[in-house]
Chain A
Amino acid sequence: MDKTEIIEKIHYFLVDEFEVEEDDLTPEAHLKETLELDSLDFVDLVVAVESSFSVKLVGDDFKGVVLLQDFYDLIERKIS
């Protein structure tokens, strides 16, 4: 899976399941401030990632994940 595909999939579930505005999905977007994902949403994010990418995430994986770009990078690291 290449980076574009990863980004598309992430955008898909953020819009579909987390009701994030598509226009807000930029690499610089803050997950919490811009996309308004609160800490409880991360529980659902883990499930969405696991079903979309078949990788396991734990709470510690999100340390340092602030921007959407960080999230793309995390998933890319996990897949590789």
Chain B
Amino acid sequence: MKYALVTGGSRGIGRAVCIQLAQDSEYHILINYNSNKVAAEEVKAAVEAHGKTATLLPFNVTDATAVQTALDTWQDENKDAIIEVIVNNAGITKDGMFMWMPQEDWHTVINTSLNGFFNVTNHLVQKLLRNRYGRIINMVSVSGLKGNPGQTNYAAAKGAVIAATKSLSQEIAKRNITVNAVAPGFIKSDMTADLDEKELKKMIPANRFGAVEEVAHLVSFLASKKASYITGEVISINGGIYS
């Protein structure tokens, strides 16, 4: 059986990606979450409503040992399973002016987005190489491309993931494994719930925030065979706010 793993899959964009992949692909879905089991169970039910199976894999992406234990345990119980698609979506924000930023807010954000990408992808990439096919999709942000005041930590983490995406894509392209990044702008989700949409949409050419489903469609395309010749790309999905 072939699987797609979505980290941070219980809410927001991750949730939408799990459901879209269930709808569009033949993959069974591995839903990673850190703390919100109730939300993860709801995603599982939504995936199953599309006739696919879903498995909950709780682990904290920042904890390399926990990542390895969870994935190895699951693999031991599912010997023939292949994780063919990895969507590194887990991420958090801890916004604040850099001059006042506590060390903890810097490290937590870097640990989740950047080290989370490393912990999960590094542990699975050898299997992908032996499989000679795979898709790695990293959720980044417009902040990682252009920077954003108040998000030095988040922009640094996402910018680093963008650079890693480009390097890794060149290392493993020969084995039919693509590595791409998706860079959303303002998307309606828990992460942007506190933002003043009415005010902010004035600077978005499309004059609205995006929907999580719109991002999920892009991820689903990149996860498909249709995107076989696209690798090392950062694809913006931001209503025209930055290109």
Contact = CB atoms under 8 A, between A and B. Distances in A.
Nearest to B128: A43
Nearest to A47: B130
A1 interface: no
B175 interface: yes
Contacts of A40: 129, 171-172, 174-175
B174 A44 contact: no
A46 B126 CA distance: 10
Interface majority SS (helix, strand, loop, mixed), chain A:
helix
Contacts of A47: 130
B174 A43 contact: no
Contacts, number: 13
Contacts of B171: 40
B231 to A, nearest CB: 15
A6 B222 CA distance: 44
Nearest to B175: A40
A40 B175 CA distance: 8
Interface in B93-142: 126, 129-130
B123 to A, nearest CB: 13
A47 to B, nearest CB: 7
The CB with the most chain B CB atoms within 10 A, among A40, A44, A47, is that of A40
A8 interface: no
Nearest to B125: A43
Interface string B10-52: 0000000000000000000000000000000000000000000
Contacts of A33: none
Contacts of B172: 40
A38 interface: yes
A20 to B, nearest CB: 17
A43 B129 CA distance: 7
Interface string A46-58: 1100000000000
Nearest to B126: A43
Contacts of A44: 129-130
A35 to B, nearest CB: 17
Interface string A16-45: 000000000000000000000010100110
A46 B130 CA distance: 11
A51 B126 CA distance: 16
A38 B126 contact: no
A55 B25 CA distance: 38
Contacts of B129: 40, 43-44
A13 to B, nearest CB: 14
A38 B174 contact: yes
Interface of B: 126, 129-130, 171-172, 174-175
Closest 4 CB pairs of A and B: A43-B129, A43-B126, A40-B129, A40-B175
13 contacts: A38-B174, A40-B129, A40-B171, A40-B172, A40-B174, A40-B175, A43-B126, A43-B129, A43-B130, A44-B129, A44-B130, A46-B126, A47-B130
